[in-house]
Amino acid sequence: MDNKIREFLLSSAEARIAAHVCGDGYLCLYKRKRSAAELLKHSRKNIYRNIFLIGYCNTESVLLRMFEIDVLKVYGLKTQFQKGNTLSFVAKWVFQRIQSFGGGSSRSWFVSKEVFKADKEIVVEWLKAFFDDEAHVDLLRKRIVVNSVNEVGLRQVQKLLKSVGVLYTKFYGPYFYKKCKFYRLTIFKDSIKDYAETIGFYHPKKVNELKTMLGNLY
């Protein structure tokens, strides 16, 4: 693994990037044939090269813009828009670094020890970014819900919430929908105020929903 991934400490901005990759993002490793010009410039036995792609997909422009700014600030790299409201960029060392912070597929992402041991403000930014992507604000039942196919990762999120004072949560599942197994983490109304004051959202729609819920509770 590239030594570059250990050259600087996890920041709030990078915590958001890692959480977004766990939520609505992805890491994709694939092979691409080298161009004729590249092969002429440097003769190689292997005509294919590995491409380390990092992407984030969301319909909310505020979150996409934050991701774009964070990537430029943390890694000095520009993202590109792809089809389907997706931002992506290519960098092997960043790919490996995000992997080390828990980024992975829907079933394999995790909360890394670096996030668990980080300062509270960094933990809060990780949670906020993850909940921006994954949470549903249930105004009818006065709760916040996250569904995931990843049992281990979601249980770690529950522990992370507890570490910042969001205590009234419960883990449910497995449930089954169209042969797909998933789990549910629920924040109950007794901790909604704690969640709002400590974490909250950047997602504009969820910000308003949370305000509405608080108004109905207090």
Q: What is the pTM of this model?
A: 0.91
Sequence letter at residue 116:
F
Specify the number of domains making up the chain. 1
Domain of 122: which CATH number?
3.10.28.10
What tens digit of pLDDT does each residue of 186-213 get? Answer: 999 999 999 999 999 999 999 999 999 9
User: Which residues 6+ apart lie within 8 Å of 218 measured at CB?
Assistant: 193
Helices (H), the chain: 12-23, 36-41, 61-75, 92-100, 113-116, 120-134, 151-163, 192-198, 204-217
- With beta carbons less than 8 A apart as the criterion, state whether 56 and 24 touch: yes
CB atoms within 10 A of CB 45: 4
Tokens of 115: 């996030």
Closest CA to 158 of 167, 108, 149: 167
Confidence class of residue 174 from pLDDT cuts 50, 70 and 90? very high
Residue with tokens 């790299």: 77
Please compute the mean of the pLDDT values over residues 124-135 and round it to a whole number: 98
- Sorted by sequence, the CB contacts under 8 Å of residue 201 that are 6+ apart come out as 128, 131, 132, 135, 207, 210
Quick one: average pLDDT of 145-149? 97
Has residue 77 got a pLDDT over 80? yes
Q: 115 falls in which pLDDT band (50, 70, 90)? A: very high
Confidence of residue 138 (pLDDT cuts 50, 70, 90): very high
| Model confidence pLDDT, tens digit, residues 31-43 | 877 665 665 666 6
Cα 133-136-139 angle, rounded to 5 deg:
150
Range of the domain at 213: 3-217
